[in-house]
Amino acid sequence: MDEQCIFCRIINKKVPSDIVYEDDHVVVFKDINPQTPIHLLIVPKAHIPSLNDVSAEHTVALGHVPIVAKKLAAEMGLGERGWRLVINCGEEACQSVFHLHVHLLGGRMMSGQMA
């Protein structure tokens, strides 16, 4: 855990957040600045600064992310409508918190443009 990391502090319940799901590998909470009607952050409990820092030891936790995303998307009625997962890696990709996290976005028609 990194005491300076806001996501580590949320994971450890030192900062309040609207947590919608938690298990041994991830915590999922609502984004405080949502870009779509449904905008969740799926955050591995292990402090991994970015995709550039991923190693084989993270395989189980990161492989678990799409399973959790699919479950939550279905529970929120997005399953058949469509939803998107996004991971920003680094400053030029607009990663604002350096604890790897996956954005689950849905609830409206999205642009076909990715950049």
Write down the architecture of domain 6-106 according to CATH: 2-Layer Sandwich (3.30)
- The percentage of residues in the chain with a pLDDT greater than 70, rounded to a whole number, is 98
- The model carries a pTM of 0.95
Residues with catalytic roles: 101
Whole-angstrom distance, CA of residue 81 vs CA of residue 85:
14
pLDDT in tens, 43-91: 999 999 999 999 999 999 999 999 999 999 999 999 999 999 999 999 9
Tell me the domain boundaries of the chain.
6-106
Name residue 103's beta-bridge partners.
41, 86
Q: Taking the alpha carbons of 98, 104, 106, 111 in that order, is the dihedral positive or negative? A: positive
Whole-angstrom distance, CA of residue 2 vs CA of residue 9:
8
Q: Is residue 115 pLDDT above 70, yes or no?
A: no
Q: Is residue 1 pLDDT above 90, yes or no?
A: no
